[in-house]
Amino acid sequence: MLELTGVCKFFGKNEILKGVNLKVDSGDVVVILGPSGSGKTTLLRCINFLEIADKGTMVFGDKTIQLRRAKKSEVAFVRKKTSFVFQNYNLFNNKTALENVTEGLIYGRKIPAKEARDIGVKALEKVGMLDRSDFYPSQLSGGQQQRVGIARAIAGNPDVILFDEPTSALDPELIGEVLGIMKKLAAKEGTTMIVVTHEMSFAQSVATKVIFMDSGVILEEGEPREFFVHPRHERTKQFLRSILYETEYNI
């Protein structure tokens, strides 16, 4: 459904992505792991043109798009077929929870306001935020804001949702509610997702495919069981050790 080939991205002289290939099929939950600075987030942002890649092609459905010279219509097409959940939620602060969901439907997808409202209500219900639909983001907790962020992402019925470290900015206590919703989306709705995260438990239990990135390349990819039990690459082993067993240190 979505295939990226040879994605390169420079920030100044730093090469952040060095020719990344990625294939996502419908119903996949692809989890991208890797140390910070490895290019995970940049890769995700290149998919919906929040960053413009310097090289690479994207095949989305039956369209082939050159990432560097994407036309306006192609950018609009991809943005319509995808949605993005941000690390810092990035809710519209001047809009209520419901308006946050309907804004993109009305002004991005040209859906009539009334219909958009119905879709918005359903989306908020799915993330358990219907009782907060008239609240402004400033009146919501981080976890609640991110749930609205997810409602905004699912409302447009995208082919794939891109999650950029959706729980990294949350208090530990609030991580569960957000991960729970993501699990539900994957299991019940079969939503296709690409998730950049540090939540190993989510990767282990929900992912259909795990990708490990380091310094701008994909070092290793595979099914979660294979990946976590028999990592092939030394760098992957080192990374998994440091993340999975960090609590075992005795000082």
Partner 1 sequence: MVLDFGFMKSSFFLALRGIPVTLFITVMTLLISIPIAFAIAVARAGKKRKTLNLLFSVYVSAVRGTPVIVQILIIYTMLPDLLKFIIEKLALPFNVYAINNIFYAILIFSFSMIAFLSEVFRAGLRAVGRGQYEAALAAGLSGFRAYTRIIAPQAFSAVLPVLCTSVNNLIKTSSLCFAIAVNEITGIIRVAASRNLHFVEGFLVIAAIYVIICMAVELCFKILENKAKVHRVSA
Question: Residue 83, interface with partner 1 (CB under 8 A)?
Answer: yes
Question: Residue 94, interface with partner 1 (CB under 8 A)?
Answer: yes
Question: Residue 68, interface with partner 1 (CB under 8 A)?
Answer: no
Question: Residue 228, interface with partner 1 (CB under 8 A)?
Answer: no
Q: Which of residues 110-149 bind partner 1 (CB under 8 A)?
A: 136-138
Q: Vertex 157, ends 155 and 160: CA angle to 5°?
A: 115
Q: Contact, 209 vs 221, CB < 8 A?
A: yes
Number of residues forming the site for partner 1 (CB under 8 A): 27
Q: Which of 104, 166, 216, 224 binds partner 1 (CB under 8 A)?
A: 104
Alpha helix (H) ranges present in the chain? 40-47, 72-81, 97-107, 113-126, 142-155, 172-184, 200-206, 224-229, 234-244
Question: Residue 108, interface with partner 1 (CB under 8 A)?
Answer: yes
Q: Which of 48, 146, 167, 236 binds partner 1 (CB under 8 A)?
A: 48
- Which is closer to partner 1, CB of 21 or CB of 94? 94
Question: Residue 243, interface with partner 1 (CB under 8 A)?
Answer: no
Burial of 114 (0-12, 13-18, 19+ CB in 10 A): exposed
Question: Residue 18, interface with partner 1 (CB under 8 A)?
Answer: no
Question: Residue 184, interface with partner 1 (CB under 8 A)?
Answer: no
Q: Which of 26, 36, 107, 112 binds partner 1 (CB under 8 A)?
A: 107
Tokens for 134, please give them.
Answer: 């008239």
Cα 42 from Cα 67, distance rounded (Å): 13
Q: Which of 56, 143, 156, 166 binds partner 1 (CB under 8 A)?
A: 156
How many residues are given for the chain? 251
Tokens for 116, please give them.
Answer: 């958009």
The residue written with tokens 């005795």 in the block is: 250
Question: Residue 3, interface with partner 1 (CB under 8 A)?
Answer: no
Question: CA nearest 127: which of 179, 67, 75, 181?
Answer: 181
Cα 124 from Cα 130, distance rounded (Å): 5
Question: Residue 92, interface with partner 1 (CB under 8 A)?
Answer: yes
Question: Residue 88, interface with partner 1 (CB under 8 A)?
Answer: yes
> DSSP letter at 9?
E
Q: Which of 79, 117, 132, 209 binds partner 1 (CB under 8 A)?
A: 79
Cα 72 from Cα 74, distance rounded (Å): 5
Question: Residue 95, interface with partner 1 (CB under 8 A)?
Answer: yes
Question: Residue 10, interface with partner 1 (CB under 8 A)?
Answer: no
Cα 33 from Cα 202, distance rounded (Å): 11
In the complex, what is the shortest distance from the CB of residue 150 to partner 1, in angstroms, rounded to a whole number? Answer: 13
Contact set with partner 1 (CB under 8 A): 48-50, 76, 79-80, 82-84, 86, 88, 90-95, 103-104, 107-109, 136-138, 152, 156
